[in-house]
Amino acid sequence: MLEFEHALILLLLIAALAVITRWLPWPAPITYLAGGAGAAFLPSFPKLALDPGFFFLCFLPPLLFSDGWLMPLREFMKAKRTILLLAIGLVGFTTIAVGLVAYWLVPGLPLAMAFALGAIVSPTDAVAVGAITGRLKIPARLSAILQGESLMNDATGLVAFKFALAAALAGTFSATAMVGQFALLAVGGVGVGLGCGYAIGKIRDLLRRLQSSDPFIETTLSLMTPYAAYLAAEVIGVSGILAVVAAGLYSGWRDPVRMDAETRQTAFAVWDLVVFWLNGVAFVLLGLQSPKIVAAVVGTHSPVQLVGFTLAVSGAAILARLAWVFPATYLLALFPGGKKRGTHLSSSSVMVLGWAGIRGTVTLAAALSIPLFLPSGAPFPGRDIVIFLAFGVILVTLLLQGTTLDWLINRLEVRGDEDRPKEELLARRTAVEAGLKTLVAMTDSATTPEMRAALDSVIEEYERRLAALAAQGETRNRARRRRSAGHHYRSVALHAERHALDDLWRSGAIIDEVHRPLQQLLDYEESLLRDAPDESENEGATVGKNENPPKS
């Protein structure tokens, strides 16, 4: 009961901090960290103890699955060389660079734990980077590289961390054995992940054929998929992390064409909420643990030493990324196809790529998953200082890179692709043409005057949308202005409808069962207006996220 109350308190704190962060000029994780640290000093706030294994299992599978699920596969495949070079080469380079710096600086830190620290801080945070780059509309290729790198280096970094931790437990390390075992774990993990994704997808298909499914059942199965892949892989003895990534990529390829509109809306809404909760809770928990983390190392190291260690390790992580990204990116041009149009990055984009090394939830979860004790019962060597330094790298990268990345993107004038509006226009025109063709073919089936009038009305709407999409020059400008004005008038009318409906409900003239479905219908119509483009060149289409109104 007490743990449930603590969970509710955490969610309320996250909601409050999410409101505050909207008014602050930095990424949300900084606010969550500061809020958690501040709450830790309140005498009445619950003192939460974290179980390392539970923290790792609870947070990482859904976060990694979500990243894979939303990964744009076409752009991922186009940029696969760059992504793999970052996800494997950069992770290894960062692990070694940070590990050697930490081993050289921190007295008594075992080499295996120094490399564990390097592996912990090697993954970047997709949520923090995406929150910045998403609103600035960077080139699709750069966005795909950042997303794909974050997804893959989460996996490779965590696998490297597991090996380093095993070496710390065993007291020995063999590079040859590690490479062979890594290949076995990787292949097995990917196979298990694909198998779980495929099996759960088939179960969902079967339930739909038997008419025994609905959006809530399918969304529940979607939420369980990462845990099924992770636990199955762990039982077999292969990489659970890579299993989750593979399941996420497979589901992201499969689900968009298998889910109906209502299920997609429900699944995306639930997943957005889950990811929001998990990221918020993770950083708040880190803030809450910060007094303990600091207290655990203050007795063995002076404050000056701790600041120096943190800056040195953070600097090594940042510089290792910059030192790797520039030569590695240009090295790709030497391979076949590396100089084709669209396969290379500009120097400005490479600089943004190098500076987008913000660390976050995965680093935090890995650090806090280090066991408290060795099998012998002795304290795990170097655990406290590794967690402290991981916390320091998260804080430094959030404060330094997280607050300057958007400025750098604007300063270097890194902009979106010219081809994206053309692709969107092609998609909208093709969709509207297909809908119009289907409606015209149904003309003979309209056997009554009422059916014919309704069909003619819908056909007229589609023809108007297609004409707006095909318009050029001044005609397009007039269509844009007309559409913008129409959006305004529709929004005003919807606001008046909602106000009148709510007044009837508050006065008791209508009951909830009448008010709620009509309110949902107004919400749906408002979402269409919100999602439809207002000033882009792709006017006149309503192809978007919301395809069916909510069922009442």
**Residue-level pLDDT at 409:** 87
Taking the C-alpha atoms of residue 244 and residue 236, their distance in angstroms, rounded to an integer, is: 14
Q: How confident is the model at residue 292 (pLDDT cuts 50, 70, 90)?
A: confident
**Residue-level pLDDT at 420:** 61
On the question of pLDDT at 545 being above 60, the answer is: no
Structure-derived torsion over alpha carbons of residues 88, 90, 93, 97, reported in degrees to the nearest 10: -140
**Residue-level pLDDT at 248:** 93
* Burial per residue of 312-327, b for 16 or more beta-carbon CB atoms within 10 angstroms, e otherwise: bbbebbbbbbebbbee
**Residue-level pLDDT at 319:** 95
For residues 276-280, average pLDDT:
89
Q: How confident is the model at residue 122 (pLDDT cuts 50, 70, 90)?
A: very high
Taking the C-alpha atoms of residue 323 and residue 320, their distance in angstroms, rounded to an integer, is: 5
State the burial class of residue 229 (Cβ atoms within 10 Å of its Cβ: 0-12, 13-18, 19+): buried
| Predicted confidence (pLDDT) per residue in 360-419, tens digit | 888 888 888 888 888 778 888 888 899 999 999 999 998 898 888 888 888 888 876 655
473 vs 321, higher pLDDT: 321
How is residue 255 written in tokens? 């689900």
On the question of pLDDT at 448 being above 70, the answer is: yes
**Residue-level pLDDT at 539:** 41
**Residue-level pLDDT at 118:** 94
| Predicted confidence (pLDDT) per residue in 64-89, tens digit | 899 888 887 777 888 888 888 888 88
**Residue-level pLDDT at 257:** 74
**Residue-level pLDDT at 547:** 41
**Residue-level pLDDT at 104:** 94
State the burial class of residue 6 (Cβ atoms within 10 Å of its Cβ: 0-12, 13-18, 19+): middle
User: Please, what is the angle between helix 140-170 and helix 240-258, to 10°?
Assistant: 150
Lowest mean pLDDT among 180-184, 304-308, 370-374: 180-184
Q: Which of 158, 171, 318, 134 is nearest to 242 (CA)?
A: 158
Taking the C-alpha atoms of residue 422 and residue 400, their distance in angstroms, rounded to an integer, is: 36
Q: How confident is the model at residue 468 (pLDDT cuts 50, 70, 90)?
A: confident
| Predicted confidence (pLDDT) per residue in 481-497, tens digit | 776 777 777 778 878 88
For residues 455-465, average pLDDT:
82
On the question of pLDDT at 180 being above 80, the answer is: no
Write the CB contacts of 169 (distance below 8 Å, at least 6 apart in sequence): 374, 375
Q: Which of 207, 79, 206, 225 is nearest to 151 (CA)?
A: 79
One-letter identity of residue 334: L
Which domains are assigned to the chain? 2-417 (1.20.1530.20), 420-531 (no CATH)
On the question of pLDDT at 538 being above 70, the answer is: no
Q: How confident is the model at residue 311 (pLDDT cuts 50, 70, 90)?
A: very high
In terms of residues, how long is the chain? Answer: 552
